[in-house]
Amino acid sequence: MSKYKYDTITEEEYDEINDLVNKAIEKLGFENLENYREILEKLKEYILNNSNSKIDQTSNAYEFGSLFGKLIEIKYKWSWFIIERESTEYFCITSPNKRACCPVHSYFLSLLNGEKDLNFILLYNMIKKEYPKEWDFMFLV
């Protein structure tokens, strides 16, 4: 039993995530999600090339976070949940056993505004199928 409140996302929320994914892949110049390595590299390049510009960080965080989550969903078979921690709700892509998750939108906002190092490719490559049994929606950021 989790110590956090959580729920799966609704069909409407899932559709909105997919709409955001489509905006992100279009922005990056892709037509589909077939080559995740190229997409992740292009995403990093886009962020680096626009780090000093006045891009809309919030919109990009939702688009790029959704894209990152979608790539994890596809490759690792993770699922989308809304998780409440410290009175804040997060849209998270979550491991099948609910031990690990990534609050993708807030994570990408922290990358875009420089609060965190641009290490999302490393995070993506370090995702595992199993996590310690004592983990309970551990945030991977």
pTM of the model: 0.94
pLDDT tens across 51-68, in order? 766 678 999 999 999 999
CATH topology of domain 5-139: Four Helix Bundle (Hemerythrin (Met), subunit A) (1.20.120)
**How do the domains of the chain map onto residue ranges?**
5-139
H or E element in which residue 106 lies: helix 104-112
The mean pLDDT of 37-51, rounded to a whole number, is 92
How confident is the prediction for the chain on average, in pLDDT?
A: 93
